[in-house]
Structure 1
Amino acid sequence: MAAFILRKQKFSTKNLLCIVIIGLLYLILAQRNAPRYSNNDLRPSSRNNSHSNWPFNIPQQYDQQYLHEWNEPIKVNVSNPSDRGEGGSAFYPRLDEKELMKKLRKEHNYNAFASEKISMRRSLPDYRFPECRSLIYPNKLPTATVIIVVHNEIWATLLRTVWSIIDRSPRELIDEIIIVDDASTWTHLKQPLDDYVKTLPANIKIMRTEKREGLIRARLKGANVAKGNILVFLDAHIECTDGWLPPLLSRIAWNRSVVAVPLIDNIGIEDMKYRTLPVNMNGIHWTLIFDWSPLPQREIIRTKHDRTAPIRTPTHIGCAFAMDREFFFEIGSYDEGMDIWGTENLELAVRTWMCGGSLEILPCSRVAHLFRSSTYSFDGNKNEIKVRNNNRFIQVWMDDFKDYIYAAFPKWKSIPTGDLTERINLRKKLQCKSFRWYLENIYPESAWLKPFITMGTIRNGLHNICLDAYTMTVSQALIPYTCHGEGGAQFFAFTVHGQMMTWRLSCVGIQGKSVVLVSCNEDDKYQQWDYNKEKHWIVHRESSLCMRKNQTGIVLDTCNQSDIEMKWEIVSNV
Structure 2
Amino acid sequence: FFFTREELKILTNFSELKFKKKFAEENSLKEKNEKKPAKKLFPNSYLFKQWTVELSEDDQRKAEDLFQKYGYNAFLSDQLPLDRELLDTRDHRCIGREYPHNLPTLSVVLIYLDEALSVIQRAICSIINRTPAHLLKEIILVDDHSTNGLFLSKNPIQPSSQRHIQKGLSQARISGWKAATGDVVAILDAHIEVHVKWAEPLLARIQADRTLVLSPVFDRVNYYDLQVTKYLASAHGFDWSLWCRYVGFPQKWYDQKDPSQPGKSPSVMGILVVDRLFFGEIGTLDGGMEVYGGENVELGIRVWLCGGSIEIVPCSKIAHIERAHKPYMPDFSNVMKRNALRVAEVWMDEYKINVNIAWGLPIQNHGIDIGDVSERKKLRDRLKCKPFKWYLENVYPELNPMHLLGYGVLINDLQTRLCLDKGPFEENTPILYPCHFMESQIFYYTASGEIFAHLPLKNNRNRCLIDPGSGRFPELSWCSDTEKQKHMYWDFKQGQAMQNRETKRCLEISADQTGKYEKNVFLQDCRNQHWKIQNIIQDL
Q: Tell me the TM-score range normalised by the shorter chain.
A: 0.7 to 0.9
Shift of the 504–534 alpha-carbon distance from structure 1 to 2, 3 Å rule, reads: closer
Among 344, 359, 363, the residue aligned to 1:394: 344
Matched residue, 1:337: 288
Partner of 1:371: 322
Partners of 2:356 and 2:340 in 1: CA distance = 11
1:171 Cα deviation after fit: 1.6
The CA distance in 2 between the partners of 1:187 and 1:390, in whole Å, is 31
Matched residue, 1:166: 128
Cα deviation, 1:39-75, whole Å, max 9, x if unaligned, reads xxxxxxxxxxxxxxxxxxxxxxxxxxxxxxxxxxxxx
The one-character-per-residue Cα deviations of 1:122-171 (angstroms, maximum 9, x if unpaired) are: 11111101121132222321111111122221111111111111111122
Change (3 A) 1:314 1:258: same
> 1: CA distance between counterparts of 2:214 and 2:102?
18
Q: CA deviation at 1:322?
A: 0.2
2:219 is matched with which residue?
Answer: 265
Give, in whole Å, the separation in 2 of the partners of 1:339 and 1:242. Answer: 34
| Distance (whole Å) between structure 1 residues aligned to residue 252 and residue 429 of structure 2 | 35
User: Does the CA-based 8 Å contact 1:545-1:557 persist in structure 2?
Assistant: yes
| Equivalent residue number for residue 460 of structure 1 | 412
1:300 CA displacement? 4.0
The answer to which of 268-277 and 460-469 deviates more is 460-469
Q: Does 1:358 align with 2:309?
A: yes
Residue 37 of structure 2 corresponds to none
Find the residue that maps to 1:208 and give its secondary structure: coil
Whole-Å separation in 2 of the counterparts to 1:315 and 1:475: 35
The within-5 A match list for 1:516-531 is: 516-521=475-480, 526=486, 528-531=488-491
Q: CA deviation at 1:498?
A: 3.9
Contact 1:287/1:503 (8 A) holds in 2 = no
Distance 1:424 1:158 in 2: 37
What residue is the counterpart of 2:256 in the other structure?
Answer: 304
Task: Classify the secondary structure of the residue corresponding to 1:246.
Answer: helix
Provide closer, same or farther for how the CA distance between residues 296 and 455 of structure 1 changes in structure 2, counting only shifts above 3 A. farther
1:415 aligns with 2:365: no
Relative to 1, partners in 2 of residues 1:479 and 1:146: Cα closer, same or farther, differing over 3 Å? Answer: same
Structure 1 CA distance, aligned partners of 2:89 and 2:277? 32
CA distance in 1, matches of 2:141, 2:238: 30
Alignment CA distance shift 1:418-1:123 (3 Å): same
Distance in structure 1 (CA, Å) of the matches to 2:169 and 2:74? 21
Offset of residue 421 of structure 1? 1.0
> Could you tell me how far apart the structure 2 residues matched to 1:534 and 1:388 are?
29
Residue 247 of structure 1: CA displacement?
A: 1.2
Cα deviations by residue, 1:420-473 (Å, 9 ceiling, x for unpaired) = 11100111111111222211211111132x3334333322233213222367x4
Kindly state the Cα deviation for residue 496 of structure 1 after the two structures are TM-superposed. Answer: 4.1
Q: What runs of 5+ residues in structure 1 fail to find an aligned partner?
A: 1-77, 84-89, 199-204
Q: Could you tell me which residue of structure 1 aligns to residue 534 of structure 2?
A: 571
Q: Distance in 2 between matches of 1:538 and 1:271?
A: 52
> Offset at 1:299?
4.6
User: In structure 2, what residue type is equivalent to 1:561?
Assistant: R
The corresponding residue for 1:405 is 355
Q: Is the 8 A contact 2:143 2:166 kept in 1?
A: no
- Partner AA of 1:419 in structure 2: D
Please provide the CA RMSD for this pair: 3.2
Q: Is the 8 A contact 2:250 2:264 kept in 1?
A: no
Q: Which residue does the alignment assign to 1:492?
A: 443
Query: Residue 103 of structure 1 corresponds to which residue in structure 2?
Result: 65
User: In the alignment, which of 240, 243, 256 is matched to residue 289 of structure 1?
Assistant: 243
Task: Check conservation: 1:331, 1:352, Cα contact below 8 A.
Answer: yes
The corresponding residue for 2:39 is none
Q: TM-score, normalised by structure 2?
A: 0.79
Return the offset for 1:501: 2.5
Task: Give me the whole-angstrom Cα distance separating, in 2, the residues matched to 1:280 and 1:219.
Answer: 24
Which residue type is aligned with residue 244 of structure 2?
A: F
Kindly indicate whether residue 74 of structure 2 is the aligned counterpart of residue 112 of structure 1.
yes
Native 8 Å contact 1:91 1:273 kept in 2: no
1:477 corresponds in structure 2 to 429
Query: Measured at CA, do residues 113 and 516 of structure 1 come closer, stay the same or move farther in structure 2, by a change above 3 Å?
Result: farther
More displaced stretch, 130-139 vs 391-400: 130-139
State the AA in 1 paired with 2:400. Answer: A
Question: Could you say what secondary structure the match of 1:186 adopts?
Answer: coil
Closer/same/farther in 2, CA of residues 446 and 553 from structure 1, 3 Å limit: farther
Q: Does residue 442 of structure 1 match 2:395? A: yes
Superimposed CA distance per residue, residues 297-320 of structure 1 (whole angstroms, 9 cap, x where no aligned partner): 62544x5222012122212220x2
Gaps of 5+ in 2: 1-15, 24-49, 457-461, 511-516
Q: Shift in Å at residue 494 of structure 1?
A: 2.6
Measure the CA separation in 2 of the matches of 1:441 and 1:384. 31
